[in-house]
Chain A
Amino acid sequence: MKIAVCVKHVPEGHSKLDPSTKRLDRSGEGALNHFDANAVEEALRLKGDSDTEVVVVSLGPAKAADSLRKALAMGADRAVLVSDDAAAGSDLVATSKILGKALERESPDLVLFGQQAADADGAVLWAAVAERLRRPVVSQAAELTVDGGSLRVKRQTEFGYDVIESPLPAVVAVSDAINEPRYPSLKGIMGAKKKPFDTLSLGDVGVDAGEAGESGSKTEVLALGDPPSRGDARKIEGDGDAAQAILDFLAEKRLV
């Protein structure tokens, strides 16, 4: 079996937007999106001692290699980085197209995603990529089992849990409750340097520059502003009358 895990290299610490480009400032240090570490871990768990190949795939700047190396150090077998200046600023439509093409080259049995990008808060990419690949998709996986040619997912929803079954190949987004990602061992870190690592351009994956980056995007950022602030907040020290003060406040707001 072959499992592809899509990972993102995200800025470390407090993210900010660059006012001139209105894009996320990616000039500082970055790290493997921690939600994606759950997806890498799940792939390694499914692999176990078998001959399953785990390939990590990312779209990002050259620096994203660091995050892929971390995934390799955790135990992934191979890395593919799609990196191209023309891809910078790609929105969901463009990103899903590029990743879809990169994944088609690999034709994996299973594609895994983490549940969210910690920088842009995006939590939908898997469904767009599944559509590009024309594969079934299951998100919010709290448990995942693969048996022969099919998978079984326990999906968290607003109402409880669904058990969903699907044949492979398929796309699954795992929740961060699914496992506890391992830390790379020293041996893993050393070994990662020798693992196969491909860096591909848009041309290599068969995407025209016009379909990527801002020219391939269908959405745009128009302006940045301050979030709305709360009005007149009140703060009281909780002495014996605190409960009464809360009740009075609720009554004033017509909430009781």
Chain B
Amino acid sequence: MSMLVFLEQHGGELQKGSLGVLAKAASLGSNDVAAVIVGDGAKALAAEAGAYGAAKVFVAEGEALQQALPQPRVDVLAKVVQEHGYETVLLANSVLAADVAAGLAARLDAGLNWDLVDLTGDLVGKRLALQDTVLVDVGWKTTPRIALFRAGSFDATPTGGGEPQVEDVTVELSEHSQQATITGQELEESSGPSIEDADIVVAGGRGLGAAENFSLAEELARALGGAVGATRAVVDAGWYPYSAQIGQTGKVVSPKLYVALGISGAIQHKVGMQSSNVIVSINKDANAPIFEFSDLGVVGDVHEIVPRLTELIKQRKGA
């Protein structure tokens, strides 16, 4: 049962979600777990991949692989799978990885199960479907199998693995893989941790009342050491940037703690945060759906409770 995990890196940093998938793969009892890292600096990241359970790391570097574009990565993965016969390819979902997974599925005529939240040792995938109302067991009829996991499905916990064997991959890119180029970037300035990597997320919705009231969420996040998220409604209203949007058409997060301020809990938002370990919500509407999936629901006014809570947390941390 050989497994190959696509480790996504940006700017020399392996993404936590893909390390979580690697740790999961390593926990399934396979004796052949390898990782692929693409882009400049890949080799330097191999040791980290070893610590999360990769016995072998394929690295593909070079000018043509530098940009965060999916199709050259399909070329790399297809080559590694074909040459080494990996039976299962695992990826953590992201804008990049989703396109890599689907491109690879078509290239190899391989089955792709997406939006998985778990995988069993006998390779049954678990998928939450229809706005998370059904848990579906999915399988693959042939190899290679491709598994794309919902972001944040697994904790990125080092497995205590040692120094991996490193193998360089040189690949001739397909013609169509070399057409698109990134000619510019606008990176979001963020002061705190990114919401997908944060252990604590404080998110605000329409119940905050106005754009300037997002400072309530920001101050609470700062006190807790977390990041700030937002619902689609407030992003559409221009209160907060898209990069902070959590939900079906934004990011999917599963922090240790999710604090929802003035968020009703519409399905669009729910699917982006409900796998959080602990959910605390404050909303003045006692019938808000968010209370149905909160560990602690507080019916009350965010404008009164949040500043007080921020103060209490600062006092506690200062003590």
Q: Bound complex: CA of A228 vs CA of B106, how far in Å?
A: 32
B35-43, B138-146, B157-165, B208-216: which lies at the interface: B138-146
Stretch at the interface among A61-69, A192-200, A201-209, A241-249: A241-249
Of B196, B249, B313, the most chain A CB neighbours within 10 A belong to: B249
Chain A 200-238, CB-CB to B under 8 Å as 1, else 0, gives: 000000000000000001111111111110110111111
Docked Cα-Cα span, A122 to B115, in Å, equals 8
- CB within 8 Å for A236 and B95 given contacts A92-B102, A162-B185, A166-B180: no
Given A160-B187, A224-B136, A243-B308, A256 contacting B224 (CB threshold 8 A): yes
Interface positions, chain B 177-205, Cβ under 8 Å from A, are: 177, 179-188, 194, 196, 200
Are A162 and B309 closer than 8 Å at their CB atoms? no
Are B249 and A124 in touch, CB under 8 angstroms? no
Residue of B nearest to A115 (CB): B249
| Tally of A-B Cβ pairs under 8 angstroms | 271
The reply to whether B103 and A137 contact each other, CB–CB distance below 8 Å, is: yes
Per-residue CB proximity of A110-143 to B under 8 Å, as 1/0?
Answer: 0000011001111111111111101111111000
Task: Check B185–A161 contact: CB distance below 8 A.
Answer: yes
Instruction: Please state if A236 and B181 are interface contacts (CB–CB under 8 Å).
Output: no
Is residue B296 within 8 Å, beta carbon to beta carbon, of the partner chain? yes
Q: Which 5 A-B pairs give the minimum distances between C-beta atoms?
A: A238-B300, A218-B111, A163-B184, A124-B102, A131-B106
> With A93-B112, A249-B296 given, is the CB distance from A219 to B141 under 8 Å?
yes
Q: Which of A45-53, A71-79, A169-177, A182-190 contacts B (4 or more CB under 8 A)?
A: A169-177
Interface centre among B106, B111, B132 (most CB of A within 10 A): B106
Q: How far is the CA of A251 from the CA of B315 in the complex (A)?
A: 13
The answer, among B99, B129, B175, B295, for a CB contact under 8 Å with A120, is: B129
B1 within 8 A of A: no
Is B74 close to A, CB under 8 A? yes
Cβ 8 A contact of A250, one of B96, B138, B196, B257: B257
Cβ contact of B297, chosen from A119, A160, A165, A235, cutoff 8 A: A235
Known: A160-B186, A235-B291, A238-B282. 8 other contacts (CB 8 A): A130-B176, A158-B194, A158-B243, A166-B181, A177-B242, A233-B293, A236-B296, A255-B224
Where chain A touches its partner, the secondary structure class is mixed
- Residues from chain A with a CB closer than 8 A to the CB of B257 are 250, 253, 255
CB of B45 within 8 Å of the partner chain: no
B68, B137, B179, B180: the one contacting A222 at CB < 8 Å is B137
A128 to chain B, nearest CB (A): 4
Given A155-B95, A218-B109, A219-B112, decide whether A131 and B74 contact each other with a Cβ distance below 8 A.
Answer: yes
Residue of B nearest to A151 (CB): B180
The CA-CA distance from A158 to B294 in the complex, in Å, is 26
Q: Name the residue among A96, A128, A170, A243 with the largest chain B CB count within 10 angstroms.
A: A243
**A220 and B129 contacting across the interface, CB-CB below 8 Å:** no
Q: Is A181 on the interface with B (CB-CB < 8 A)?
A: no
> Once the chains bind, are B71 and A136 in contact (CB under 8 Å)?
yes
Chain A interface residue count, Cβ-Cβ cutoff 8 angstroms:
84
Sample of 24 A–B contacts (CB below 8 Å): A15-B130, A17-B129, A17-B134, A92-B114, A93-B106, A93-B111, A119-B130, A124-B102, A127-B70, A128-B112, A137-B71, A137-B99, A218-B105, A218-B141, A224-B137, A225-B136, A233-B294, A235-B294, A235-B297, A235-B298, A243-B306, A249-B295, A255-B200, A255-B256
**B180 touches which of A22, A134, A137, A251 (Cβ 8 Å):** A137
Residues of B in contact (CB 8 Å), total 93
Smallest CB separation, B136 vs chain A (Å)? 6
Cα separation A239 to B282 with both chains bound (whole Å): 12
Quick check: A160 and B107 within 8 Å, CB to CB? Answer: no
Cα-based distance from A144 to B316 in the complex (angstroms) = 50
Provide the residues of chain A in CB contact with B141, threshold 8 Å: 217-220
B301 located at the interface, meaning its Cβ lies under 8 Å from any Cβ of chain A in the complex: yes
The residue from B103, B128, B186 contacting A131, defined by CB atoms under 8 A apart? B103
Out of A131, A170, A223, A244, name the residue touching B179 (CB < 8 Å). A170
A20 within 8 A of partner (CB): no
Kindly report which residue of chain B lies nearest to residue A92, judged by CB atoms. B112
User: Which residues of chain B are within 8 angstroms of A251 by Cβ–Cβ distance?
Assistant: 316
A 6-37 to B, binary, CB cutoff 8 A, 1 in contact else 0:
00000000011100001000000000000000
Give every chain B residue within 8 A of A129 (Cβ-Cβ). 106
Check if B183 sits within 8 Å of A163, measured CB to CB.
yes
The answer to whether residues A158 and B196 also contact, given A124-B98, A127-B70, A238-B305 and a CB cut-off of 8 A, is yes
Which residues of chain A are near B133, meaning CB under 8 Å?
Answer: 227
> Would A159 and B188 count as touching, CB distance under 8 A?
yes
Q: Please indicate the chain A residues that have their CB under 8 angstroms from the CB of B184 in the complex.
A: 162-163
A247 and B312 form a contact (CB under 8 A): yes
B140 partner, pick from A137, A219, A228, beta carbons under 8 A: A219
Please determine whether B111 and A139 come into contact, CB atoms closer than 8 angstroms: no
Over the window 277-319 of chain B, the binary record of Cβ atoms lying under 8 Å from chain A Cβ atoms (1 yes, 0 no) is 0111010100000011111111111001110110111001100
